[in-house]
Chains A and B, each alone.
Chain A
């Protein structure tokens, strides 16, 4: 009896203490077909807890499909995806779309956009306001949130949509090429924002990116996918300390990791 208890205790501490101990999300036998193409065929993968994972691969290999399947936007043709052993319906998650212009609700002010998921969850108005205020001050956001989305710059809109995803205090955050519609200057700024958010919340984050520099710079792990049917070709570790800065990108570790990823990528592209 005492022995069993101590085992449970050890498991508990290890789950909290070391983020990589137990996988957060498990994909088993995931299968997906579109028309005549098999995108995923019995795909197995574990997403570690509290890490920022970048997904990178050839065009059309199913990067977005992967997170859409995990987030329940695209139904599976087969297999199972579990979050700590539970189905998606039991967990809170956030999703940030590439096209912020179409993902925001233009009839709501930014602040009401952020509060909307809480409203859906049935949170009372007073608490909604409190939680929005909390996230705004935590992230140290200095935008006028009484504006409507169409009155804001692209970067501001995407920042609002990231806050909308975070306000529910999600267990996992998905971002589908969140910065690819922004100009380079704004992209650099938004990377820093995302890094800061990740450092503060340590939320398990899955980022789909078509920009290798960004994928490596932000990630703890880079999932390199093959052409479809997609396989996990490599799961690259990149452990440079945070906060990373533009200087990080000229360090040997970064350059080496990026070169390695690029090599794998090109090998996969040539195969097709």
Chain B
């Protein structure tokens, strides 16, 4: 029974594939619009190994990583700074919340003017969106550091800087990783949208869009699944890093 429990997550996948196959087999939907799972996964395999999908996948990975990295470099130190003084954070809270609520896609035209048509715009908009999410989480992580732990360090004679460095920074790490995971997800969304619409010649967004234009449905579904796998994989990647370096998270 215990060993069977490992299989639980696969049940949903099996059910989805069964419904999908049944739909294709019974021809409820036009077969041109919905290819069979086998056709789709074959298209994905061929696309990833010898077709354009593999290169587009890597391009999207690259843009997402760049934008998340830029966002982190800016947002983490800034978040620590803002979080270390609640008054400072409250004074800019409205701005952060406002721009965090602004759809990053609404910024595309502005960033096009600033950075031109090319990779820089896509990366910049994605970094902008991700940075605000990371900033907000880091700042809250620092502000919500356990009071007792800060007192414990202070009682031992730790200076303000030392408390910030030894206690608040480490206390904020679990929340920082929440920010990083949300940030990378958002960056991927923005990158894919940007690849679809702002004069792009590569990337997963472009692949989905082009396949749809050419009515190549197996390729389109393949690209969608590739994007899904990428999003899921990035999330797992950050979870793995968190488990490795923030071993006390949730304990």
Could you tell me the distance between the alpha carbons of A117 and B156 in the complex, rounded to whole angstroms?
5
Count contacts on A: residues with CB < 8 A to the other chain. 20
Interchain CB contact under 8 A, B170 and A107: yes
Contacts of B153 in A (CB 8 A): 116, 120
**Does A249 belong to the interface (CB within 8 Å)?**
no
Given pairs A73-B151, A102-B149, A120-B156, 19 additional interface contacts (CB within 8 A): A71-B155, A72-B155, A73-B154, A73-B155, A95-B152, A95-B155, A97-B148, A97-B152, A103-B149, A103-B151, A105-B167, A106-B251, A107-B173, A116-B153, A120-B162, A121-B157, A148-B248, A150-B248, A150-B251
Interchain CB contact under 8 A, A103 and B148: yes
Identify the closest chain A residue to B170 (Cβ): A107
Could you tell me the distance between the alpha carbons of A164 and B156 in the complex, rounded to whole angstroms?
9
Binding site for A on B (CB under 8 A): 146, 148-149, 151-158, 162, 166-167, 170, 173, 246-248, 251
Contacts of A93 in B (CB 8 A): 155
For the complex of A and B, the 7 pairs showing the least CB-CB separation, nearest first, are A106-B248, A102-B148, A150-B251, A117-B156, A95-B155, A103-B152, A102-B146
Q: Within A164-211, which residues are at the interface with B (CB < 8 Å)?
A: 168
Contacts of A248 in B (CB 8 A): none
Q: Within A63-108, which residues are at the interface with B (CB < 8 Å)?
A: 71-73, 93, 95, 97, 99, 102-107
Chain B contact residues, majority secondary structure: helix
Closest chain A CB from B169 CB (angstroms): 10
Closest chain B CB from A157 CB (angstroms): 12
Could you tell me the distance between the alpha carbons of A93 and B152 in the complex, rounded to whole angstroms?
12
Contacts of B247 in A (CB 8 A): 107, 148
Identify the closest chain A residue to B163 (Cβ): A120
Contacts of B170 in A (CB 8 A): 105, 107
Identify the closest chain B residue to A149 (Cβ): B248
Could you tell me the distance between the alpha carbons of A105 and B151 in the complex, rounded to whole angstroms?
12
Chain A 106-125 near chain B by CB (<8 Å), digits 1 or 0: 11000000001100110000
Interchain CB contact under 8 A, B151 and A120: no
Could you tell me the distance between the alpha carbons of A15 and B45 in the complex, rounded to whole angstroms?
86
Identify the closest chain A residue to B158 (Cβ): A120
Could you tell me the distance between the alpha carbons of A200 and B127 in the complex, rounded to whole angstroms?
60
Could you tell me the distance between the alpha carbons of A103 and B170 in the complex, rounded to whole angstroms?
14
Most chain A CB within 10 A, of B149, B152, B153, B248, is at B152
Contacts of B251 in A (CB 8 A): 106, 150
Most chain A CB within 10 A, of B149, B154, B156, is at B156
Contacts of A117 in B (CB 8 A): 156-157
Identify the closest chain A residue to B146 (Cβ): A102
Closest chain A CB from B78 CB (angstroms): 23
Contacts of A104 in B (CB 8 A): 152
Contacts of A148 in B (CB 8 A): 247-248
Could you tell me the distance between the alpha carbons of A73 and B152 in the complex, rounded to whole angstroms?
10
Could you tell me the distance between the alpha carbons of A236 and B158 in the complex, rounded to whole angstroms?
36
Could you tell me the distance between the alpha carbons of A105 and B156 in the complex, rounded to whole angstroms?
13
22 A-B residue pairings within 8 Å (CB atoms): A71-B155, A95-B155, A97-B148, A102-B148, A102-B149, A103-B149, A105-B152, A105-B166, A105-B167, A106-B248, A106-B251, A107-B173, A107-B248, A116-B153, A116-B156, A117-B156, A120-B156, A121-B157, A148-B248, A150-B248, A150-B251, A168-B156
Could you tell me the distance between the alpha carbons of A45 and B154 in the complex, rounded to whole angstroms?
25
Interchain CB contact under 8 A, B149 and A105: yes
Closest chain A CB from B118 CB (angstroms): 42
Could you tell me the distance between the alpha carbons of A121 and B155 in the complex, rounded to whole angstroms?
12
Closest chain B CB from A175 CB (angstroms): 12
Identify the closest chain B residue to A168 (Cβ): B156
Contacts of A150 in B (CB 8 A): 248, 251
Interchain CB contact under 8 A, A99 and B248: no
Contacts of B154 in A (CB 8 A): 73
Could you tell me the distance between the alpha carbons of A150 and B162 in the complex, rounded to whole angstroms?
23
Identify the closest chain A residue to B173 (Cβ): A107
Could you tell me the distance between the alpha carbons of A71 and B162 in the complex, rounded to whole angstroms?
19
Contacts of A168 in B (CB 8 A): 156
Identify the closest chain A residue to B248 (Cβ): A106
